[in-house]
Structure 1
Amino acid sequence: MASPRRIAVATSSAIIRLSAFMFLRWIPGHHFVPLVFTSLVVYLTSIFSLFKNTAPQEWQTGKPQNPNSRKPVSSRPKSGDSVLKTLLTGLPSAKWPLWTRTTILINIVLALLTVDFLARGYFLYPSENVSFSRIGYVSPTTAKLVFREPHSDRMPMAVMYQEVSGESQDWYEEGIVYKLDNSTDFTATVTIIDLKPATHYRYSLSNNKSGTFTTAPMPGTQEATRLSFVTSSCLKPNFPYNILSHPLRVPGLEQMTSALAKLPKLLRPSFMLFLGDFIYIDVPWRFGSSKAHYRSEYRRIYSSPSWTHGPEENRAIDLPWLHTLDDHEIENDWSQGNKTAPYPAAADPFIHYHVRGNPPIPPSPQAHPDNVTYFAFTHGPASFFMLDTRTYRTEPSSQNPTILGNAQLQSLLTYIATPEPAGTYWKIISSSVPFTKNWHVGTNDTWGGFLDERRTVFEAMWRAERELGIRIVLLSGDRHEFGATRFPDPTLESGPEMLQPNTAGHGVHEFSVGPLSMFYLPIRTYRQTDSEDVAVKYAPTGNSKFGLVEIADDVEVVPGTSVKVRSSALTYSLYVDGEAVWRYRLTVPLDRDDSLHGPVLPPGRVLEDKIADVDWSVVLGSVVGRMPELGKWVVESVSDFYLEVASRVQKAERLD
């Protein structure tokens, strides 16, 4: 029978290895950190206790003792001792002293790697002196330039620009920034104006920072019939962990850059719609909640070498980024409003680094402009409304809970009901958290926890699609998984076959994707449970996922006929770890002849699918994904049984 000390050694060793692996390669949760180090203390204490009470001379010298000498029975090699057993269990072996030292070293190294991932980037790269520049929102005649320059000897800062392919190579001065200070963390935003639509430009700052951008097309032009952009959420440097990697490297950002560089020039994206969790203040460890802590996280991300990965003409830093706020930029599952700490500290760098470079607020914000963090803009054939589902929300369990707040809700409803000008066929609404309730873990943190407000928004969307002849598409992030869902209009008749899971069809569509570079969970938590949220496609696997959205005029044949009609087509391409694996198409007929199209918009259809629906990992993940529901059912069943028994006992006592 194994001694308690040997059990402690084997158990603590197993916990160290499993926890470190999960922390470094699977999910960097803060719970694993104390688990690794507590287990290491138990392991080292227990194993040295074994050394002390067995054969000290042998452990100290590493040489077998004289076979004729007497030694304690407990120090004799076990009959089952082997190199493999020692390496796998972490148990010491008198027969294999070298491999015993090796297995101890393995556990110590795993703890050191945990420390490295946890602290190297934070302590060795404070990035206080980082200088960078990036492009934010771009309109037909303007471009927002966000930059940071902490070195006073490089001030004042001149902002220059020129056409890249124009006949004139003259540089034009937009303006001069004379001072930057700590009030904005040494950042500034300059709007370059009087630009030409659909034109490629180069900008240059007097501190030698430079980049390129392309202005949006003017509405009504041929260029305005086409649009391409990317969307994703959630990034964390150096995950999965690689000891040889730069601690601020973002692998998913590089994979995206390489994938986009392979596209034809016509399909290169105009911007990135990034839907939250740009930083993870609380993963893997919250070092503080002050304004300085939040600022340092933004600086570290912008210090990443991944921004300039690849050829100069395809750098990620030159892609305009538009940002939405989510919980890990504040605190996990945040729902305490914009006055409670740490929100004010978290909002400070988000405003300076991101809001200043974002699109304008909606024409009807329903609130004072200084208190608005939701945005609206039009680019080519689509208009956009970027929601803020964190700042104004209340607890889902509160009375009349809201995820948007009244002002933002009314502004969104006004946007949905407003007809778009000619040439704009799509309303695209972005949310940091999914609209669908098909995710069965953390549902209350999504729109699934605010179903009354969701219903109000959906009714407005269905009405707009019926009456305005425009198509509404929802984009979201947060889940570290991909899920495509459609929400059929209940006022329109849909046959049972149109409500089956994993089918293309009618309805407002949502594409939820993430992470751009972070962990994913192989546990399947997404599935359809009713006919309100119809599952189209689910893809949880992949540390890097993003969606490429392409909109362009097309000519299609009406199903069942030979008639060709013009349409505006939206194609959503899902990229996993740098490869396109799934493509889906939606269309808006440009000829609204009901005799050809019927009274509803055409159904969506799958163009390409390389994702396996059934394999052992899917089956196992689905079973594990149902465990929380099973546990809840068991608890509720036991509770109901107990209450029933107690009620009967109480009734029997009254009768007695």
Structure 2
Amino acid sequence: MANLGYAQAAVSTAFRAVAYVFLEVIPHSAAKYVLSVLYVAYLVLYSLQPPPALEPTTKEEHSNGEAKVPFPTEDTTKELVETKTESEDSKPLPSIPTPAEESSSLTALLLSLPTPSRPLRLANLFINTLLAAAALEFITYPYFDDAAGVVYTRVGAVYPDAAKIVVRYPGLVGFNQTNATVQLAWRQVPKSGAVESDVWKDGPSALLSEELDWVNTVKLSSLWPSTTYEYTLRDANKTQLPYPSSPIRFRTFPDPYLNSGVNFRFLASSCIVPNFPYTPLQGRTIKGFDLLADYLWPKNTPGKFTMPPPSTSTPTPAETESADESAAGTSALDQPEPTAAPVFSVNAQTVEPVASKAPTEFMIFMGDFIYADVPIYYGDDKEAYRRLYRRNYQSPSFRKVYERLPFIHTYDDHEIINNYAGHSNDSSPPFANANDAFALYNAQGNYDSSQQGEHYYDFRHGDVAFFVMDTRRHRSIIEETDEPSRTMLGEQQLTALYDWLGRVNNTATFKFIVSSVPFTGLWTYEGEYETWNGFQYEKASLLNALHTVPNVILLSGDRHEFAAIEFPSANPARTVYEISTSPLSMFYIPLIRTLKKQSEDVINRTKEVVNVLEDGTTETVIVTEEVPQEKVLKYIADGNYKWSSIEVDTRDRQNPVANIDIIIDGKNAYSLTIRGEPVKLSPSMALGAYVPQSFKGVLGKIGLNPSSWF
């Protein structure tokens, strides 16, 4: 029986260790099977254990069970009297467990060691059952809370003269009806102190249907560049709907043809799973978004920027005046943020503070917005995928960010299935149903692709250009394709990327390229086939092209770690940088490091060195040096909650700057300044640059919309 007890202890300890890893470290899908087997084995062993033995009695008993009382003698009587006297003189203190006994009990509780104590055995059973219940809640939560009734709206792609608005509003139809209509009402938000005279205007209508899960995306057009707007929702009878309780605000992007320079921030990260690391009964919480909201809009604490409280009333369409902007619900677009931490300057090799209050205007989510296969694969059908998207939009953590900040997306493997490679075969399951959900909830709110139905796209914010890749749909299956023939992007997307590089080379200052997976080949575990490292020919060709374009910065995610990488070229001014940041709210692996410091391959780079001669004159010498083809600037693996806050400032044409703050667990962990190369941009072709602002207003009053001209 002793061996049985130790077998039970071993199984119990293994169960607890696996449960801890599954709930707090990494929610690997295989854990559900291991936990089930271990818990059942523990229960079987527990039931086979004999009950704790009763303590033996020290009293002699009759055959009928009554204690035998010896006949009193003179000696025993004297002994009883003496014992009674001693007990009356000094009463003994109650017994207290010794440290050894306490340690023994604690060890038995922690390691489930065999113990004769019935309370300890029951406590062990209770602990293991709680852990099993926690794992079960974490796994099955989306089934019991499918978020079918979630109502939300958000801003997606923003243009100089338009914005895409995503709406989900079930519950507006009667019995047996399968569609409904929601109309946008919008207006321009006046600047502080101005008087608003425009009524709410009728915007586009979104047709919602049960077939499309009551979700639709519309485009609000005829807007002015660099202007703040707000919108609310009405039903088909133009009656104000209860949601949103306050109008949703956004700011249009600046006119890209004015060439006046910009100063703004945007965010980038990837990978979220609600309630991980696990906390009981918090299935809707996404802590990374809670931290992000606190970062963007700090609470009213001393030493931090404070903002006015949001508006609690929703203006009706009949209202003709807006509340002052400083008293209304204030978005991230209208508010400065805390001063950034000191930064490390790449080119100058100095440490300097950067005081920045540029507004955060949007977030690029770089994939793994849902985990269709973690902790379990929920099935290859539309509802299984849609449920996970609804669950995220239902989260109060996410809601307080997406209602105030535009989001644009790309996807990675976990929106489909782990390590997915599409090989340009859309008919191969599970792509079709996974793509349906991604398109419905996220992609339709993105910028339009140059090819209908594709998920790669480009856009601009002033003189800053972006290209967002699709690294999954057209990726070759490595096991089935020879290295020279492999492609990450597919011929059509690669052509679009090269075309974009040619267009923005001299028309944009900074160029950001978004890849859901890292471009660098320095990551080891799975990096050989999951990152660009498995596509060496295409990567080398693309990198050569990037080195001919000034001020290229790659953004990536996927690895659940942070790394800043540089890719030097023969021209020191044409270094390409990669900022890889994830997860926003997911696991990381403690103690294990998977990134090499630099590549073994080197390149020859020339640079000018100024020498001072003995006579005081100087001479310039061209020196050739070998440098790694890829090199780590900074690597931080730890942290469940990571994102990049990137500030771009191109107002000084000769000194464009990108300031990058890496926020981990809500705190600034690393800062990097990338000083760009001056770019002589093409002359402005915007009609708006030559039309007085007052004249634009006159044209608008007579029904003309000059904003559509540029």
Common topology (TM > 0.5): yes
Q: Secondary structure at the match of 1:271?
A: strand
Quickly say closer, same or farther: Cα 1:243–1:591, change in 2 above 3 A.
closer
AA of the residue aligned to 1:288? G
CA distance in 1, matches of 2:260, 2:445: 24
Gaps of 5+ in 1: 59-63, 71-78, 310-314, 363-368, 465-469, 495-504, 556-564, 593-656
Measured against aligned partners, the alpha-carbon deviations of 1:79-112 in whole angstroms (never above 9, x if no partner) come to: 9992022112212311x22122112211111111
C-alpha displacement at 1:371, in angstroms? Answer: 3.8
Match among 100, 118, 143 for residue 139 of structure 2: 118
Residue 285 of structure 2 corresponds to residue 285 of structure 1: no
C-alpha displacement at 1:420, in angstroms? Answer: 4.4
CA distance in 2, matches of 1:68, 1:116: 52
Measured against aligned partners, the alpha-carbon deviations of 1:497-541 in whole angstroms (never above 9, x if no partner) come to: xxxxxxxx9720000001111111121111124222111110111
Hey, what does 1:36 align to over in structure 2? 35
Given the two structures, how large is their TM-score scaled by the length of structure 2? 0.72
Q: Secondary structure at the match of 1:180?
A: strand
CA distance in 1, matches of 2:577, 2:159: 27
AA of the residue aligned to 2:3? P
Structure (1/2) with the larger helix percentage? 1
Quickly say closer, same or farther: Cα 1:175–1:15, change in 2 above 3 A.
same
Hey, what does 2:109 align to over in structure 1? 87
Contact 1:567 1:591 in 2 (8 A): no
Contact 1:485 1:533 in 2 (8 A): yes
Residue 80 of structure 2 corresponds to residue 12 of structure 1: no
Quickly say closer, same or farther: Cα 1:190–1:336, change in 2 above 3 A.
closer
C-alpha displacement at 1:219, in angstroms? Answer: 2.3
Residue 625 of structure 2 corresponds to residue 534 of structure 1: no
Hey, what does 1:654 align to over in structure 2? none
Contact 2:465 2:504 in 1 (8 A): no
Quickly say closer, same or farther: Cα 1:372–1:244, change in 2 above 3 A.
closer
Match among 172, 190, 210 for residue 218 of structure 2: 190
Q: Secondary structure at the match of 1:473?
A: strand
CA distance in 2, matches of 1:432, 1:219: 26
Residue 365 of structure 2 corresponds to residue 274 of structure 1: yes
Contact 2:155 2:402 in 1 (8 A): no
Measured against aligned partners, the alpha-carbon deviations of 1:562-585 in whole angstroms (never above 9, x if no partner) come to: xxx931101111000111121111
CA distance in 2, matches of 1:223, 1:460: 27
Contact 1:384 1:429 in 2 (8 A): yes
CA distance in 1, matches of 2:522, 2:531: 10
AA of the residue aligned to 1:379? H
| Mean CA deviation greater in 477-486 or 3-12 | 3-12
CA distance in 2, matches of 1:370, 1:196: 27
User: Identity over aligned residues, as a percent?
Assistant: 32
Match among 525, 530, 552 for residue 594 of structure 2: 525
Residue 397 of structure 2 corresponds to residue 306 of structure 1: yes
C-alpha displacement at 1:394, in angstroms? Answer: 1.2
Residue 286 of structure 2 corresponds to residue 250 of structure 1: yes
Contact 2:547 2:574 in 1 (8 A): no
Hey, what does 2:127 align to over in structure 1? 106
Counterparts in 2 of 1:355-366, with a 5 A limit?
355-362=443-450
Measured against aligned partners, the alpha-carbon deviations of 1:371-430 in whole angstroms (never above 9, x if no partner) come to: 4210001112310100000011111231211111111111112212334455x2011100
Match among 551, 559, 562 for residue 482 of structure 1: 562
Measured against aligned partners, the alpha-carbon deviations of 1:219-269 in whole angstroms (never above 9, x if no partner) come to: 254874222100000001011111142x11110011011111247254221
Given the two structures, how large is their TM-score scaled by the length of structure 1? 0.77
Measured against aligned partners, the alpha-carbon deviations of 1:455-502 in whole angstroms (never above 9, x if no partner) come to: 0110111122xxxxx31110000011101111111x34x7xxxxxxxx
Hey, what does 2:583 align to over in structure 1? 515
Q: Secondary structure at the match of 1:516?
A: coil
Gaps of 5+ in 2: 62-99, 175-179, 235-240, 299-304, 306-335, 338-356, 601-627, 681-710
Match among 57, 64, 81 for residue 66 of structure 1: 57
AA of the residue aligned to 1:320? P
Match among 428, 436, 443 for residue 512 of structure 2: 428
Contact 1:483 1:511 in 2 (8 A): yes
CA distance in 1, matches of 2:271, 2:498: 28
Match among 149, 157, 174 for residue 203 of structure 2: 174
Hey, what does 1:560 align to over in structure 2? none
AA of the residue aligned to 2:226? A
Q: Secondary structure at the match of 2:289?
A: helix
Number of equivalent positions: 533
Contact 1:218 1:224 in 2 (8 A): no
Quickly say closer, same or farther: Cα 1:173–1:43, change in 2 above 3 A.
same
Q: Secondary structure at the match of 1:51?
A: coil
Hey, what does 2:702 align to over in structure 1? none
CA distance in 2, matches of 1:184, 1:50: 56
Contact 2:15 2:35 in 1 (8 A): yes
CA distance in 2, matches of 1:150, 1:232: 30
Contact 1:435 1:446 in 2 (8 A): yes
AA of the residue aligned to 2:557? G
Counterparts in 2 of 1:70-469, with a 5 A limit?
82-94=104-116, 96-119=117-140, 121-153=141-173, 155-165=180-190, 167-177=196-206, 179-206=207-234, 207=241, 208-209=243-244, 210-221=247-258, 224-245=261-282, 247-262=283-298, 264=336, 266-309=357-400, 315-337=401-423, 338-362=426-450, 369-397=451-479, 398-399=481-482, 400-420=485-505, 422=507, 424-443=508-527, 444-464=529-549
AA of the residue aligned to 1:439? W
Contact 2:568 2:629 in 1 (8 A): yes
| Mean CA deviation greater in 535-544 or 330-339 | 330-339
CA distance in 1, matches of 2:158, 2:506: 20
CA distance in 1, matches of 2:640, 2:443: 27
